[in-house]
Amino acid sequence: MAALPYLIAYVVPLTAALGLSLGGAWAFATLIFVFVLTPGLDAVLGLDTRNAEDEAARLANPWFDRVLLAWIPLQLGVMAWTAWAVAVQGRPPLEAVGLVLSAGVVGAAGLNVAHELMHRKDRVHRGLAELLCATVTYTHFCVEHVYGHHKNVATPLDPATARRGETVYGFLPRSILGGVRSAWRIEAKRAVARGEAGTLRDRRLRYALGLVTLYGLTTALTGPVGALALFGMGAVAVGHLEVINYVEHYGLQRAAIGEGRYERVGPDHSWNSAHRLTGLYLFGLPRHADHHYLASRPYPILRHHADSPQLPAGYATMLLLALLPPAWFAVMEPRLDALQGRAREERAAA
């Protein structure tokens, strides 16, 4: 039963399916749920700061994986249906825009599922993570996030760590392009060292071939409009993901302990959120401080760290706030000042 509350995540693809079925204004149902209803519900439902009392029992419960993996066919179905509806059925322009935006939000939530799976040790789960990332044209994320971001987070070396005073609009191109370059360098080094460069074990080649195949099939089945719709869904998903990246690490930095070396990643290098609703439908992602503290910890046993930097609202609210830089800075700069003051006091006491 403990896994069942996470089924709230499925409201996202189900509202997209509702829009596809009913058309008209219903095409925007997913956007209304995520960006209008969720901020209010997050505030009403409050915080969940409890940590699992019996981690072994939760990990042994197969329903946590079943709830997670059931997402994959549903997302694939929503995205394929959207491409078909826009390109073949010829939905009205405004409705088509709503459908693509809604499916893009589904893809963004799917990137979160992929994020959980890419940290697993077995090849099947990591392969499913690659599949989900491919559907939104962001496969390199499987390399950069695991081997780049987690190593360099909260340092100037990480393109996905937002600098203090940087707007989300300056951050987005730096993070996206920097992530692609970083993933290419990481995989090139790995492939050459293992003698796999130019083979299908080289993810630079495998991911490129996968995307060419995906867009080729989409074009064959739905024409160029369907391929354009697929790209649009991916753009929405990637933008959503990168704004969340902006929120998760904004202004936080690890102390340098030598040339090119930094202190160990700890719970104080990520913004944490204990908001109940978004914690459920993002499969624990808002407990981000613990995720970076121990990246191998599966979502059912992620811990709330009360001493880590805390976001004042849930992820949906903070994402909207980030899009308004003056409001974002007004809320977040005092919190960074307080964190820095606390750090100075702790150093003085030591």
Domain ranges in the chain are: 4-349
d(CA 78, CA 76): 6
Please give the pLDDT value at position 347. 63
Dihedral Cα 49, 51, 52, 54, nearest 10 deg: -140
Number of Cβ within a 10 Å radius of residue 176 = 18
H helices of the chain, where? 11-22, 29-32, 38-45, 55-60, 63-69, 71-87, 93-118, 123-135, 141-143, 150-152, 168-193, 203-249, 276-281, 288-293, 315-322, 325-349
Give me the chain's average pLDDT, please.
95
Please give the pLDDT value at position 342. 78
SS (H, E, C) 248-295: HHCCCCCCEEECCEECCCCHHHCCECCEHHHHHHCCCCCCHHHHHHCC
Residues 112, 33, 107, CA angle at the centre, nearest 5°? 30
pLDDT digits 0-9 by tens, 30-89 = 999 999 999 999 999 999 999 988 898 899 999 999 999 999 999 999 999 999 999 999
Q: Is the pLDDT reported for residue 193 higher than 80? A: yes
- Rounded to a whole number of angstroms, the distance between the first and last alpha carbons of the chain is 46
Amino acid at 251: G
Structure token pair of residue 71: 């997402």
Q: How far is residue 14 CA from its own chain's centroid?
A: 19
Q: Is the pLDDT reported for residue 325 higher than 80? A: yes
Please, which pLDDT band fits residue 340 given cuts at 50, 70 and 90? confident
Please give the pLDDT value at position 350. 60
Please, which pLDDT band fits residue 348 given cuts at 50, 70 and 90? low
pLDDT digits 0-9 by tens, 266-280 = 999 999 999 999 999
Q: Among 76-85, 106-115, 195-204, 223-232, where is mean pLDDT lowest?
A: 195-204
Question: Look-up: residue for tokens 């195949």?
Answer: 213
Q: Is the pLDDT reported for residue 345 higher than 80? A: no
